[in-house]
Chains A and B, each alone.
Chain A
Amino acid sequence: MERDEPAAGMGPDAPAMTVATESPIIEARKVSKHFGHVVALRDVDLKLWPNEVLGVVGDNGAGKSTLMKILSGVHPASEGEMLVDGLPVRFSNPGDARRLGIEMVYQDLALAGNMRIDENIFLGREQTRRLGPFRLVDHAANRDEAKRHLDNLRVEVKSVTQRVEQLSGGQRQAVAIARATAFQAKVVIMDEPTAALAVREVRKVLDLIRDLRTHGISVILISHRLDDVFYVCDRVMALFHGRNFAEAPLSAIDRNEVIGWIMGNKSGSDAAAGLDVD
């Protein structure tokens, strides 16, 4: 197993994973992003394998959120290439990404509190039934489908007809994740999904994230909480100043190394390698 060797100053062919026979479900190659004169990302590579939970860590401003917005179609990349299932793709809006099964769960949840749970899950994609020349929203079908989906994810709510504003923070996060996975999602990108939660709710959301794997869904998790990363992720990659800094399977590293990566340090023998980043 090659572990964290391919870390700093990565060239074009970044981490050589052992599962090289199949193509990554999503891949970014040398992606850069400029906002005016500000360079948010420079030559960043990312690979996400099927049924993998990848943690992305980095300090504020390291480029994590920008990278996720590129992967989910919110921003176009300034340079670089994106592949889904090994085929090149270009997203001009989140809808393009969603059609290929890439969904984003936003930090601020992006739920309409005044609407019912089932309506939030199906917002913009409501099932309808015909009535003469009209297409009416099939509330009953959406309700049943939402219930089935939540049961499937083992998310418990009193009723799917509750308004989202009546839910706790953890339940809301679960609804947001349920919405992201309701339509054949292959990849769910989550930006700090536990940041706004009460301590006792964090574990349940993390378990839910871990369970997504059993539904054939890969996850990219942005988090600054290393507890979360070590609890759910298979692999972690660090960004530093908009570049790849290091990455490794979680089994091969410890918490202090990851903290070092976030600060831009490599521990022990890797220390020198870290310096050529800047």
Chain B
Amino acid sequence: MTDVMSSGPGSELADAGARSPGVIRVMGWFDRWGVLLLVVIMAVLSWLAQPDVFLSERNIFNIFRQTAFYQLLALGEFIVIVTAGIDLSVGSTLALAMMTAAVMAKAGIVWPLVFLAPFVVGTLVGVVNGLGLTKLHMPHPFIMTLGMMFIVRGATYLISEGRPISGLPPEVSWLGTGNIGVLGVNVPVSLVVVIITFVIAWVFLQHLRTGRHIFALGGNPQAARVSGVNVDRTLVIAYALCGLLAGFAGLLLAGRTNSGFPDAGNGDELVAISAVIIGGASFFGGRGTVLGVFAGVLVIGMLRNLLNLSNVQVFWQQVLIGVVIIAVVAFDVLRRRVSASS
């Protein structure tokens, strides 16, 4: 311990100041890369179980294509979870955005507007969530977004009269099903879109003041407030971005299925939350990375893929995803306890 102010070995403080550098390094490594280890484990398991199919280009890109909308949904959820919040309305928002695009396409509206509408719809839902939380002084975002989950789902049924609509402009379908040549490989457009979005989100969260304030208020809202951070405005931005990404996810799913169906995204808010938690973000805010979110969604996607390829009954997927969530967090708790006591 070189620092003058630190307490040195044998300190009565329970602080990390007394931890050995080795432990800190290992902990830091796990914080950053632990979830990638999980991805590798899943990949090895899948490869062992299905050596011929799993590593085929087609199967790999299928996983990415199928999980692309979950990636966007989880990314939005992540931003809100970093503020120590939660958004239960993202599944409904996805459906409303998707249905809006489908209804507009059916009405013959030009494709750029069809393209734009899901973003607008999603952002509006997010802004309502954020304003409701801050201006109505809701005791917890759970309540505001639970209410919005029902309101937005109901609105989705209302605009669609409960019926699916198929047929979207080819530009939208291209987004969901198309391929694009990258370095000589035909890569799904949706994967490229997801990667670009994640990079933008990373820049926003790490290098813009608002992004840093989102982390700060997740770490200690009181500290953020007394430091002059406009906490309410920052929260509204976080929920608006979450809604925007849910709307984007709706557009992607509409493109992939070439339709809008009012049941879309039902329960997917929980999948998004699961991916964020598996990806190492703290439910109590202030902690997590966009790379972790990406990996968290991938773990769920690979798990489903493995079970599908192995012809396991689809209901087992749910059981296993639940097991993975609990196992990952239990391991995380154990790891922290071990490193705290050493």
Contact = CB atoms under 8 A, between A and B. Distances in A.
A112 B5 contact: no
B288 to A, nearest CB: 10
A205 to B, nearest CB: 8
Interface of B: 2-7, 11-13, 15-19, 24, 203, 207-209, 212-213, 215-220, 222-224, 226-229, 286-287
Interface string A90-121: 00001100100000101011111111000110
Contacts of B286: 112-115
B5 A157 contact: yes
Report which residue of B207, B215, B218 has the largest number of chain A beta carbons within 10 angstroms of its beta carbon. Answer: B207
A168 B5 contact: yes
Q: Top 4 A-B pairs ranked by shortest CB distance?
A: A112-B219, A114-B219, A124-B228, A168-B17
A219 B208 CA distance: 34
7 contacts: A95-B228, A114-B215, A115-B286, A124-B227, A156-B2, A156-B5, A166-B24
**Which of A98, A110, A204 lies at the interface centre, i.e. has the most chain B CB atoms within 10 A of its CB?**
A110
Interface string A134-146: 1111010000000
Contacts of B227: 110, 123-125, 179
A112 to B, nearest CB: 3
Interface of A: 94-95, 98, 104, 106, 108-115, 119-120, 123-126, 128, 134-137, 139, 155-158, 165-171, 174, 179, 198, 200-201, 204
B228 A174 contact: no
Contacts, number: 117
A125 B286 CA distance: 19
A135 B207 CA distance: 9
Nearest to B1: A158
A168 B13 contact: yes
Contact of B3 (A156, A179, A198): A156
Given A137-B212, A157-B5, A166-B17, 7 more contacts: A106-B222, A108-B222, A112-B220, A126-B212, A136-B207, A166-B24, A170-B5
B228 A94 contact: yes
Contacts of B15: 166-169
